[in-house]
């Protein structure tokens, strides 16, 4: 079943895509849903100490997300290119230690109202969470893009469903238990298939230079590698900037314009549940489309995400009272972009396995910095010694302009299409290689079951490829008469009377 699923994952035909979706679910590895627990924990880390934060006035978003971004930056820059099992193991241990040390300090601070343990706990938790999410990205990058897309949608769906439940929890003891169990479950599931610093599914991928270009001469190789490296860096840089800008715009709008600025706790909780349910609806729709088509169209996600968020802000400009509707539409658009940017990062890390840490690390840096700055903006404004009156209409218009600039300059459709085309070329190459390997296996099976000699097996292989007697003689460097004798022996031993019957026999093997 695993071989069948892997073979279908490299096919690009509609029929194969549809078949892949059913085979993939039959061989579904539930441990990959641990990424959903990781995402849930990062989103819902404030579920335990909301009351403590209200009294202490700590800028929790700064203290959680900015150290997290710093940890990802070090992971991206300090780990050299290549597959380094020791570095991966060290990151895993560091993440576990930081996470549970942070949880212990955080819980202690919430109970004792200690002034130092709460912020210190947040710093450690942010570092642990960032490294955990980066490790999940590395694990997803070790499998093919179709399976990674499927597990991404399913994991985010699990996270949104559980987030709905956690949003309405009003018991501190229950929140504390979940606060500990959610990251623990993510670590346990991450360990599945992890041995000696390597993922069980890890494969060596060819670089895109092997796919996109013909072999080049040695004198030009250094120039080619330099140009290729520069192009990859520019593509990654634009992707990271667009991630940071989009995440910042949405979270700043949520913090200052609609939803998060409400004081009424019950209304805030209700709006949070509605936005989470909207995210669930989007993810269920994506999952249904995946089941029908066998893949996810990244360009479709790109267009829908920008249109929905820009449309939501425009509606808010026209009717500032339609806050709840705007928040729902914006949440749906943001979730689409969330899936899009994660799929793009994982695909690039899969394509460039030697520099996967760089791709994932800088992608997480962009995400964490944007979330920390945007979500912490409201707290920052509240602690300033002077009041700043923000015109919400002007702010909303500026955010629309920023989104339009992202779509036209930083992350245009052409760049997303380039990522998609590159992935398609990789799939086609792997499909061709898989097809050739499959033919070799079938020919060997027929030769073994019918008692063919090694020379007759070579003749059988050429016949199965549709080659003529003259071509076989030329390829094997034998006379036409000798080739004819071998063909007759192959026909006699296999019990066929024509080349087409022989081809059918090999295909049925």
- Token pair belonging to 447: 């030769």
Question: Who has greater pLDDT, 295 or 337?
Answer: 337
Instruction: Tell me the Ramachandran region of residue 452: left when phi exceeds 0, alpha when psi lies from -120 to 50, beta otherwise.
Output: beta
- Taking only Cα atoms into account, the Rg of the chain, rounded to an integer number of angstroms, comes to 27
Q: With 50 as the cut, is the pLDDT of residue 499 above it?
A: yes
| Per-residue confidence band for 174, with pLDDT thresholds at 50, 70 and 90 | low
CA angle centred on 503, ends 498 and 504, rounded to 5°: 95
Query: pLDDT value at position 440?
Result: 80
Q: What is the pLDDT of residues 175-188, one digit of tens each?
A: 677 778 899 999 99
List the single range of 137-146, 330-339, 373-382, 468-477 with lowest mean pLDDT: 373-382
* pLDDT tens digits, 319-351: 888 888 888 898 899 999 999 999 989 988 888
Strand partners, 198: 195
Is the pLDDT higher at 130 or at 299? 130
Pull the structure tokens for residue 83: 């597959």
Predicted pLDDT at 2: 44
pLDDT at 156 over 90: yes
Residues in the chain, overall count:
509
379-425 residue pLDDT tens: 676 666 555 666 667 777 788 878 877 777 667 777 677 666 555 55
**Helix, strand or coil for residue 495?**
coil
What 8-state DSSP symbol labels residue 206? P
Is the per-residue pLDDT at 226 higher than 80? no
Give me the pLDDT at residue 72, please. Answer: 92
pLDDT of residue 37: 93
Decide: 294 and 153 in contact? Cβ < 8 Å.
no
> What does the buried/exposed string (b/e) look like for 53-63 if buried means 16 or more CB atoms within 10 Å of the residue's CB?
beeeebbbbbb
If one compares 421 and 67, the residue with the highest pLDDT of the two is 67
DSSP class of 274: H
Q: Are 84 and 93 in contact (CB under 8 A)?
A: no
Q: Please identify which residue in the block is written with the tokens 């840089």.
A: 237
Of 96, 105, 169, residue with least CA distance to 128: 96
**CA separation for the pair 301, 65 (Å, rounded):** 26
Euclidean distance between CA atoms 224 and 352, whole angstroms: 16
Q: Which two tokens stand for residue 464?
A: 């199965």
The answer on pLDDT for 219 being more than 60 is no
74-110 pLDDT tens trace? 988 887 766 678 888 889 999 999 999 998 888 787 7
> Cα 439 to chain center, whole Å?
33
CA-CA distance, 242 to 292, in Å (whole number)? Answer: 30
State which of 17-21, 268-272, 459-463 shows the largest mean pLDDT.
459-463
Contact 328, 278 (CB under 8 A): yes
Residue 49, pLDDT score:
45
Q: How far apart are CA 60 and CA 118, in angstroms?
A: 9
Per the listing, tokens 């560091």 go with: 94
List, in sequence order, every residue forming a beta bridge with 194; answer none if it has no partner. 199
Predicted confidence at residue 282, as pLDDT, reads 93
What is the rounded average pLDDT for all residues in the chain?
A: 76
Strand partners, 195: 198
Residues 6+ apart with CB under 8 A from 273: 164, 167, 168
HSE of 226 in the Cβ direction (CA atoms, 13 Å)? Answer: 5
pTM: 0.72
The mean pLDDT of 441-465, rounded to a whole number, is 87
What average pLDDT does range 34-63 have in this prediction? 67
pLDDT score of 86 = 82
pLDDT band at 224 (very low <50, low <70, confident <90, very high): very low
Percent over 70 (pLDDT), the chain: 72
CA distance 387 to 157: 40
358 vs 174, more confident: 358
- The least confident of 20-34, 100-114, 227-241, 441-455 is 227-241
Of 146 and 417, which is predicted with more confidence?
Answer: 146
Angle between helices 323-351 and 145-167 (to 10 degrees): 150
Of residues 115 and 18, which shows the higher confidence score? 115
356-370, 391-405, 430-444: least confidently modelled range: 430-444
Q: How far is CA 303 from the centre of its chain?
A: 18
- DSSP state, residue 46: G
pLDDT of residue 296: 81
């Amino acid at each position: 079943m695993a071989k069948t699923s892997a073979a279908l994952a490299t096919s690009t035909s509609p029929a194969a895509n549809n078949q892949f979706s059913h085979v993939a679910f039959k061989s579904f590895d539930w441990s990959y849903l641990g990424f959903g627990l990781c995402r849930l924990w990062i989103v819902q880390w404030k579920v335990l100490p909301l009351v403590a934060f209200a009294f202490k006035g700590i800028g929790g978003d700064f203290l959680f997300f900015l150290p997290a971004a710093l940890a990802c930056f070090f992971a991206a820059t300090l780990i050299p290119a290549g597959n380094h099992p020791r570095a991966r193991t060290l990151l895993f241990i560091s993440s576990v230690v930081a996470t549970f040390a942070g949880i212990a300090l955080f819980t202690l601070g919430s109970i004792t109202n200690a002034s130092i343990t709460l912020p210190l706990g947040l710093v450690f938790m942010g570092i642990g969470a960032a490294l955990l999410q980066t490790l999940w990205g590395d694990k997803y990058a070790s499998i093919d893009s179709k399976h990674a897309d499927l597990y991404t949608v399913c994991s985010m769906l699990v996270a949104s469903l559980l987030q709905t439940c956690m949003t309405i929890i009003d018991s501190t003891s229950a929140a504390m238990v979940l606060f500990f169990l959610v990251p623990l479950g993510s670590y346990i599931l991450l360990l599945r298939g992890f041995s000696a610093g390597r993922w069980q599914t890890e494969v060596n991928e060819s670089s895109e230079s092997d796919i996109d270009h013909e072999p080049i001469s040695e004198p030009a190789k250094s120039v080619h590698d330099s140009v290729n490296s520069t192009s990859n860096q520019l593509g990654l840089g634009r992707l990271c900037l667009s991630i940071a800008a989009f995440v910042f715009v949405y979270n700043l709008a949520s913090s200052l314009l609609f939803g998060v600025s409400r004081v009424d706790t019950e209304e805030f909780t209700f709006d949070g549940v509605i936005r989470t349910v909207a995210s669930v609806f989007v993810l269920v729709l994506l999952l249904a489309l995946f089941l029908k088509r066998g893949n996810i169209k990244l360009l479709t996600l790109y267009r829908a995400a920008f249109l929905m968020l820009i449309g939501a802000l425009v509606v808010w400009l026209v009717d500032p009272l339609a806050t709840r509707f705007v928040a729902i539409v914006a949440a749906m658009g943001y979730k689409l972009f969330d899936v899009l940017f994660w799929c793009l990062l994982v695909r690039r890390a899969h394509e460039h396995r030697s520099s996967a840490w760089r791709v994932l690390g800088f992608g997480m840096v962009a995400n964490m910095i944007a979330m920390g700055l945007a979500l912490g903006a409201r707290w920052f404004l509240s602690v300033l010694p002077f009041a700043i009156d923000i015109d919400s209409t002007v702010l909303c218009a500026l955010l629309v302009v920023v989104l339009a600039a992202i779509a036209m300059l930083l992350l245009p459709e052409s760049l997303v299409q380039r990522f998609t085309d590159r992935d398609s070329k990789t799939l086609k190459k792997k499909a061709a290689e898989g097809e050739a390997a499959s033919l070799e296996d079938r020919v060997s099976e027929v030769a073994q079951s019918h008692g063919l000699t090694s020379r007759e097996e070579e003749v059988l292989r050429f016949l199965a490829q549709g080659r003529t007697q003259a071509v076989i003689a030329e390829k094997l460097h034998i006379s036409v008469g000798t080739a004819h004798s071998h063909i007759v022996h192959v026909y006699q031993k296999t019990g066929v009377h024509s080349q087409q019957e022989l081809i059918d026999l090999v295909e049925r093997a």
